[in-house]
A and B are shown apart, each in its own frame.
Chain A
Amino acid sequence: MVSDSITNASIPSIPNSKDFAKKKRTNRSAKLKQCKLDARREQWLSQGAVKSKGCKDGLGDDRKERDRALENSRQREEDNNNDRSIHHESDSESPSNSPVNSLLSGGGTDSATNFGGSSGSSSSSGSSVCGSSTGGCCSGSITEEEEEDGCLDDWEAVADALAADDDNNNNKTEVEHDNPCYQSPSESQLSVQSDSLHDLTSEFGLDSVNSMPDSARVGYNMRAWRPDDAFRPQTLPNLAKQRSFPASDRRFVPGGVPWTCNNVLTVPSSCPICCEELDFTDSNFLPCLCGFRLCLFCHKRILEEDGRCPGCRKPYKRDEIESEASVQGGSLTFRLARSCSMIARS
């Protein structure tokens, strides 16, 4: 990962770039709003540590930092003329080669040396791996609460508040916003090249990351804010949206308890005794604790004869019947009666 010495080196460049970074962030938020929904779904999909702040703050930062890392590794590779550059080319075709690995290795000491050589501000890009990733972790819990409150719309406020909260981290990351300006032409070209690689990483990042215990944190964070990335290809957000639909469904299942209950209640669509369809009242009628359902008419008929439940042969309880008959009109009150009878039983 990133060593402390690199992080320290990045700090001096913060004050200059801070204001500019905020402006940039404001502009960026407009773009962010478009893919906000996608981001939320994606965030819901991805777990705790990677949250919206990462998307907001770390979006450009970490992306760039990752690009940077890739660039660095690329630069280094090109400089060294070693085989790994070829390996990277093949990465774009076979993404399963875990570009994250090379990315991570490149993001560490390599990038630090490269950027330290090129310019002071861009040298902080190496450190931002540490800064923004920790920032993402911190903000993760906060924005999670925001999500539950349903006020995710206020992204900028959240981001600003977070920026105020963890100044150190953000100071480092904000520098990142300036980095495009400081990018040398060769770097930008490289970033374009690395974009494809990088996106492939995003697709397969999770899988490859899962197998990496130590470096998984950074790789995981990377994945989370990818859908928010303004430079992201249009195809990927759609993919994320589709992928996250089941997740959103799952999310609403707890709220949809009535639906589940309803499903259970209407399991028999017809009365097992007379084979007539159960109407709404019938389907909410549970005369016996054994759970055997039948229509009201058959129930009445059985009461006239032996008064035993067809499902368990136990005699129907009179008081139970009364309580339920009194609330036949509404399923809700019926369920109350049912639960009461269950309590009485236990």
Chain B
Amino acid sequence: MATVNGYQSNTPVASPTATTATKQSVNPVKTVDSQSVLKRLQSELMALMMSGDSGISAFPEEDNIFSWKGTIHGSKDTVFEGTEYKLSLYFPNDYPFKPPKVKFETGCFHPNVDVYGNICLDILQDKWSSAYDVRTILISIQSLLGEPNISSPLNSQAAQLWCNQEEYRKMVEKLYKPPSARIEGV
């Protein structure tokens, strides 16, 4: 409630009416916050399953809806065609006001993905908007595969090789471990 009042004092004319007052009386509690995250994530899951986007999928892990596993298929006519990458998504308690932490679980030879699977993507950092959701994140990462940002690479070797697409494709095939094979290997 204190933060709410502080906000009101910052905006002098703002005197929330009855409708907003009731909302505020419900919302400040932390548990309600996580409940709203829950609702948001459930709604996203539903939207993702209904959308039927090809090449992307995601689903929460067994007992934790704040931790999802996603898959991305390399787009056609890119060096990543025919590949499939597993990702993990961890949603903070203040999602969607803060972005989820997204990592490649499958090794990916890409200029903007480091050896640990960390992704350098603006919308997952400073360009994050609470209007983004799992679906748009996965689509963005999918398009990032085919259109890397060479100027700020995490993997400089991949960035240098990117200009030679044939060699790059060979490298992708050489380093690519299908998710299932990786599990077998482990």
- B-binding residues in A (CB < 8 A): 270, 272-276, 279-282, 292, 295-298, 300-305, 308, 310-311, 313, 318, 321-323, 325-326, 328-329
CB contacts (< 8 Å) of B143 on chain A: these are none
Q: Is B164 an interface residue (CB 8 A)?
A: no
A96 → chain B closest CB, angstroms:
47
The reply to whether B17 and A328 contact each other, CB–CB distance below 8 Å, is: yes
- CA A270 to CA B131, docked complex, whole Å: 13
The reply to whether A304 and B3 contact each other, CB–CB distance below 8 Å, is: yes
Closest to B40 in A: A275
- CA A279 to CA B16, docked complex, whole Å: 14
Can you report 10 A-B residue pairs in the complex whose CB atoms are below 8 A from each other?
A273-B40, A273-B130, A276-B39, A296-B16, A297-B23, A313-B129, A323-B13, A328-B17, A328-B20, A329-B17
CB-CB under 8 A for A322 and B39, given A296-B20, A329-B17: no
CB-CB under 8 A for A302 and B7, given A279-B19, A328-B17, A328-B20: no
- CA A281 to CA B97, docked complex, whole Å: 22
Q: Is B160 an interface residue (CB 8 A)?
A: no
CB contacts (< 8 Å) of A272 on chain B: these are 131
The one of B13, B27, B43, B129 in contact with A326, judged by C-beta atoms closer than 8 angstroms, is B13
CB contacts (< 8 Å) of B15 on chain A: these are 325-326
The reply to whether B13 and A274 contact each other, CB–CB distance below 8 Å, is: no
Q: Is B31 an interface residue (CB 8 A)?
A: no
| B 125-140 contacts with A by CB, 8 A | 127, 129-131
The reply to whether A305 and B97 contact each other, CB–CB distance below 8 Å, is: yes
Q: Is B96 an interface residue (CB 8 A)?
A: yes
Q: Is B12 an interface residue (CB 8 A)?
A: yes
The reply to whether A274 and B19 contact each other, CB–CB distance below 8 Å, is: no
The one of B19, B27, B130 in contact with A310, judged by C-beta atoms closer than 8 angstroms, is B130
- CA A40 to CA B13, docked complex, whole Å: 53
The reply to whether A311 and B131 contact each other, CB–CB distance below 8 Å, is: yes
- CA A172 to CA B96, docked complex, whole Å: 80
CB-CB under 8 A for A297 and B13, given A292-B131, A313-B127: no
CB-CB under 8 A for A302 and B130, given A275-B43, A276-B36, A276-B39: yes
The reply to whether B19 and A280 contact each other, CB–CB distance below 8 Å, is: yes
The reply to whether B97 and A321 contact each other, CB–CB distance below 8 Å, is: no
11 new A-B contacts, CB < 8 A, other than A275-B40, A310-B129, are A273-B97, A273-B130, A274-B40, A275-B39, A295-B23, A297-B27, A300-B4, A321-B11, A321-B14, A325-B14, A328-B19
B18 → chain A closest CB, angstroms:
9
The reply to whether A322 and B14 contact each other, CB–CB distance below 8 Å, is: yes
CB contacts (< 8 Å) of B20 on chain A: these are 281, 296-297, 328
Closest to A313 in B: B129
- CA A326 to CA B8, docked complex, whole Å: 12
A141 → chain B closest CB, angstroms:
51
The reply to whether A273 and B23 contact each other, CB–CB distance below 8 Å, is: no
- CA A270 to CA B36, docked complex, whole Å: 12
The reply to whether B131 and A322 contact each other, CB–CB distance below 8 Å, is: no
B61 → chain A closest CB, angstroms:
21
- CA A210 to CA B176, docked complex, whole Å: 69
- CA A147 to CA B24, docked complex, whole Å: 52
A162 → chain B closest CB, angstroms:
57
Closest to B38 in A: A275
Closest to B96 in A: A273
The one of A282, A310, A328 in contact with B131, judged by C-beta atoms closer than 8 angstroms, is A310
5 nearest A-B residue pairs (beta carbon): A325-B14, A310-B131, A275-B43, A326-B13, A322-B13
CB contacts (< 8 Å) of B27 on chain A: these are 297
CB contacts (< 8 Å) of B127 on chain A: these are 313
- CA A295 to CA B97, docked complex, whole Å: 13
CB contacts (< 8 Å) of A301 on chain B: these are 97
CB contacts (< 8 Å) of A276 on chain B: these are 36, 39
The reply to whether A297 and B24 contact each other, CB–CB distance below 8 Å, is: yes
| B 11-51 contacts with A by CB, 8 A | 11-17, 19-20, 23-24, 27, 36, 39-40, 42-43
CB-CB under 8 A for A274 and B129, given A322-B11, A325-B13, A325-B15: no
CB contacts (< 8 Å) of B11 on chain A: these are 318, 321-322, 325
A282 → chain B closest CB, angstroms:
8
